[in-house]
Structure 1
Amino acid sequence: MDPRLLLAVVFSLILTETESKRGGLKRGTRAQVLGFDWKNCGDPDDPAVLKTLSVAPDPISIPGLLTAAASGATSVELCAPLSLNVTLEKEVAGFWVKIPCLDDLGSCHYVNVCDLLDQLIPPGQDCPEPLHSYGLPCRCPIKAGSYSLPQSDFDLPEVELPYWLTNGHYRAQGVLGKDGKELGCLKVALSLHSV
């Protein structure tokens, strides 16, 4: 599994857990994610690349079951501090509008994703399934090498989305970096609809 994807998945879990504890996200909302698409957006020589990613079904129901498989590689060890710059945009009247960083969600700069991973999964604790079963890392450092997540099922819980994350078309870009150098870049596009 590509370390950026792993960081993105775990980082999303961190944000969900953090917001749930703060009361920003509440259980009870049903939503669908449609038209999920992704691509690498970095330089061809970036050390971290996502090679494959498949998710099903389309639409993805929240709550519901998500089936995913992924592969990727990093030619360098990913260790603290790892920065992550996220740009989140929503399509409004045919134009893409940047969503500001609100309560650590949106277009935000995260100084050290490794610290966030440690908060979610404390050092010494096993990685959650199915990462643990496949020997995939869930915290820093992530050694250089190739990673693969075979087709696996994930249960997506019910959550109430923040008030500003409403129905519509979204695109996000995440740039992973260290010491001012880009390690990788990933773009994701999707549509979100409450049901």
Structure 2
Amino acid sequence: MEWLRLAFTLCLFGNSFAEQSGHDRFGQYEHPNFNTITVMKQIRLGKFAWDDCGAGADVAHLSNLTIFPDPVQIPGNLYVAASGATTEIINGPLQVNLTVNKEASGRWIRIPCLDGFGSCVYPDVCFLLSQLIPPGEDCPQPLTTYNLPCHCPFKKGNYTFPETPFYLPYIELPTWLTNGMYRIQALLTFKQVEVACIRIAFSLKSS
């Protein structure tokens, strides 16, 4: 689940997470059953849809992703549950190629990579994770509770992220992230070999 959360964070909030420190890098853990992702503008996300766009030979597949309520009001509560599996050990360098498209006049327009936001390539997620959470440190909650990893390599097996609540406060959006429908694809590769592929679609309305 860690790579799913990273993909979601990258596509919406770009590199802002890299400026955080300590165990708050992945959110301020205020209560055993409540996490806080640090964000800053009132928005509404809805019409969620997802699919596993990976090939049959991919070593990682997402079998379930649930995000509710739909729409999500920000600031407000968000509940996330996910599950997936890997058929082999996944190690770095693990590249993420993020593609962000926005619907405009019935057409899908690719959003370019601007200052770490949009359709960007992240050469090594394993390195990013080691920078965010130095090796030897405990993984942040709720990953520790669910015995989920936060560093590479990711072991072969099944991964489950049970339904978990997060509180999302205000978020400051990049200028291109205006009202409309969006589709985001995260393609993970290891030495140019596809590892996993996930697509997410949603609508956005800010105020």
Instruction: Report the TM-score, using the length of structure 1 for normalisation.
Output: 0.89
Report deviation, 1:20.
7.7
TM-superposition CA deviations, 1:20-54 (whole Å, max 9, x none): 89xxxx96411011111100111122110001111
Q: 2:101 aligns with which of 86, 89, 94?
A: 89
Residue in 1 that maps onto 2:127: 115
Residue in 2 that maps onto 1:15: 15
Paired AA for residue 168 in structure 1: G
Residue in 1 that maps onto 2:199: 187
* Alpha-carbon distance change, 137 to 14 in structure 1, aligned in 2, over 3 angstroms: farther
1:5 alignment partner, SS class: helix
Q: 2:169 aligns with which of 137, 145, 157?
A: 157
Residue in 2 that maps onto 1:127: 139
Equivalent-residue separation in structure 2 for 1:9 and 1:118 (angstroms): 18
Residues 39 and 188, structure 1, Cα contact 8 Å, conserved in 2: yes
Residues 88 and 98, structure 1, Cα contact 8 Å, conserved in 2: yes
Residue in 1 that maps onto 2:183: 171
Instruction: Report the TM-score, using the length of structure 2 for normalisation.
Output: 0.84
Report deviation, 1:157.
3.0
Give the aligned CA root-mean-square deviation in angstroms.
2.2
2:146 alignment partner, SS class: coil
Q: How many residues are treated as equivalent by the alignment?
A: 190
Structure 1: gaps spanning 5 or more residues: none
Residues 46 and 71, structure 2, Cα contact 8 Å, conserved in 1: yes
* Alpha-carbon distance change, 141 to 179 in structure 1, aligned in 2, over 3 angstroms: same
Q: Percent identity?
A: 47
1:137 alignment partner, SS class: coil
Residues 41 and 169, structure 2, Cα contact 8 Å, conserved in 1: no
Residues 11 and 117, structure 1, Cα contact 8 Å, conserved in 2: no
2:171 alignment partner, SS class: coil
1:146 alignment partner, SS class: strand
Equivalent-residue separation in structure 2 for 1:58 and 1:84 (angstroms): 27
Paired AA for residue 158 in structure 1: Y
